[in-house]
């Protein structure tokens, strides 16, 4: 493993999810970074770390507990998190995305551990450009945004839908090779029509009914404009927006911004690709 290249030392390096190598820090690195005595003495390779963490993951019986383990690992050591996913996709992909991510969204407030991504809501109207500018995300290639209004087949989950943006961003890294520092999960908290969720003790979103159309698009318009100004090359993926918005959003934004709707265009592209490949393999004409 390459030597750590960072200006951070001590506690800062150990709490930086992108630079922390945990037990993979060499003796020389531990001395240079002032973290001697902060880690167990054995120095592990990344492969050894992955093997240990895979055993830990498999020790959990319930998928939601496996999800929590992986989420905690991601907040501590992003390199190890993705190395583990790539080492055993059959163990990890059903946990970080469907089907387990659905349960994780339902229980998002109960299992929330540490912040990931950004939350945009009506209280920030007029300030969204400023929020993006002051965020820790300096270079972004892909943004996944949801308003939680139609999460998988589970209905309106409001701000709990952040779990779906987080999961999809992980897939961009694992399957698309996007750098972990250049993805951004976003929740557009436009309220929720789910009354039981609004009354839940552990719900972390705004406890209001969903915004009227004018206010909803006012916030989303401002967000899309801010993204274009701060990260002009970024692609925005709309994820799990309700049917009454998703088609209108494409019409509203697709000619102005780099954006697409995965549920509409992504699904259509995959089906089309499968059909065209079937035609190619069988040699039968399209007609």
Model confidence band, residue 142 (pLDDT cutoffs 50, 70, 90): very high
pLDDT the model gives residue 6: 55
The percentage of residues in the chain with a pLDDT greater than 90, rounded to a whole number, is: 86
CB 170 within 8 Å of CB 262: no
- Residue, of 47 and 3, whose pLDDT is higher: 47
Q: What is the rounded distance in angstroms from the CA atom of residue 182 to the CA atom of residue 141?
A: 5
* pLDDT greater than 90 at residue 5: no
pLDDT at position 10: 84
Annotated binding site: 150, 239-240, 263
Helix (H, G, I), strand (E, B) or coil at 237: strand
DSSP-based three-state secondary structure for 48: helix
CB atoms within 10 A of CB 178: 17
Query: Does position 3 have pLDDT exceeding 70, yes or no?
Result: no
pLDDT in tens, 188-209: 999 999 999 999 999 999 999 9
- Provide DSSP, the chain: -PPP--S--THHHHT-TTT--GGG--HHHHHHTT-TTSS-SPPPPHHHHHHHHHHHHHT-SSHHHHHHHHHHHHHH-HHHHHHHHHH-HHHHHHHHSTTHHHHHHHTHHHH--S--SEEEEGGGTT-HHHHHHHSS--S-SEEEEE-SSS-TTS---GGGGHHHHHHHHHHHHHHH---GGGEEEEEEE---S-HHHHT-TT--S--SPPPPHHHHHHHHHHHHHHHHHH-TTPEEEE-S--HHHHHHHHHHHTTTSSEEEIIIIIHHHHHHHHHHHHHHHH-----
Q: In the chain, what percentage of residues exceed pLDDT 70?
A: 97
151 has a pLDDT exceeding 70: yes
pLDDT recorded at residue 7: 60
Closest listed residue to residue 252, CA positions, set 275, 230, 224: 224
pLDDT tens-digit series, residues 30-85: 999 999 999 999 999 999 999 999 999 999 999 999 999 999 999 999 999 999 99
Binding residue numbers for a divalent metal cation: 239-240, 263
How confident is the model at residue 1, as a pLDDT? 34
Which pLDDT does position 263 carry in this prediction?
Answer: 84
Task: Judge contact between 168 and 263, C-beta under 8 A.
Answer: no
Which is catalytic among the residues 97, 172, 203, 253?
97
At residue 2, the pLDDT reads 41
Rounded average pLDDT over 213-226: 97
- Residue 91 token pair: 């163990």
Binding site per annotation, positions for (S)-malate: 150
User: Tens digits of per-residue pLDDT, 76-128?
Assistant: 999 999 999 999 999 999 999 999 999 999 999 999 988 899 999 999 999 99
Is 62 noted as a catalytic residue in this protein? no
- Which listed residue (67, 168, 172, 253) is catalytic? 168
Mean pLDDT for the chain overall? 94
Is the model's pLDDT at 176 over the cut of 90? yes
Domains and CATH numbers, the chain: 11-96 (1.20.1370.30), 116-274 (3.40.50.10380)
């Amino acid at each position: 493993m390459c030597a750590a290249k960072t200006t951070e030392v001590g506690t800062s390096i150990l709490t930086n999810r992108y630079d922390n190598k945990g037990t993979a820090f060499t003796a020389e690195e531990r001395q240079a970074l002032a973290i001697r005595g902060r880690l167990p003495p054995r120095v592990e390779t990344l492969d050894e770390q992955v093997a240990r963490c895979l055993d830990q993951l498999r020790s959990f019986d319930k998928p939601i507990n496996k999800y929590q383990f992986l989420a905690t690992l991601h907040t501590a050591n992003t390199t190890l998190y993705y190395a583990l996913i790539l080492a055993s996709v059959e163990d990890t992909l059903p946990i970080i995305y469907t089907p387990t991510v659905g349960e994780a969204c339902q229980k998002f407030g109960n299992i929330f551990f540490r912040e990931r991504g950004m939350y945009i809501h009506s209280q920030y109207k007029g300030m969204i450009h400023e929020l993006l500018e002051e965020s820790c995300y300096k270079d972004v290639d892909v943004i996944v945004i949801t308003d939680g209004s139609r999460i998988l087949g589970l209905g309106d989950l409001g701000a709990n839908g952040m779990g779906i943006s987080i999961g999809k961003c992980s897939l961009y890294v694992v399957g698309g090779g996007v750098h972990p520092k250049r993805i951004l999960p976003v929740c557009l908290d436009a309220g929720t029509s789910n009354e039981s969720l609004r009354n839940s003790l552990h719900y972390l979103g705004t406890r209001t009914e969903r915004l009227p159309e004018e206010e909803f698009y006012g916030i989303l318009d401002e967000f899309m404009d801010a993204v274009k100004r701060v990260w002009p090359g970024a692609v925005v993926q709309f994820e799990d927006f309700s049917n009454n918005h998703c088609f209108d959003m494409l019409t509203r934004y697709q000619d102005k911004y780099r954006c697409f709707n995965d549920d509409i265009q992504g699904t259509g592209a995959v089906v089309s690709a499968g059909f065209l490949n079937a035609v190619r393999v069988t040699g039968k004409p399209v007609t």
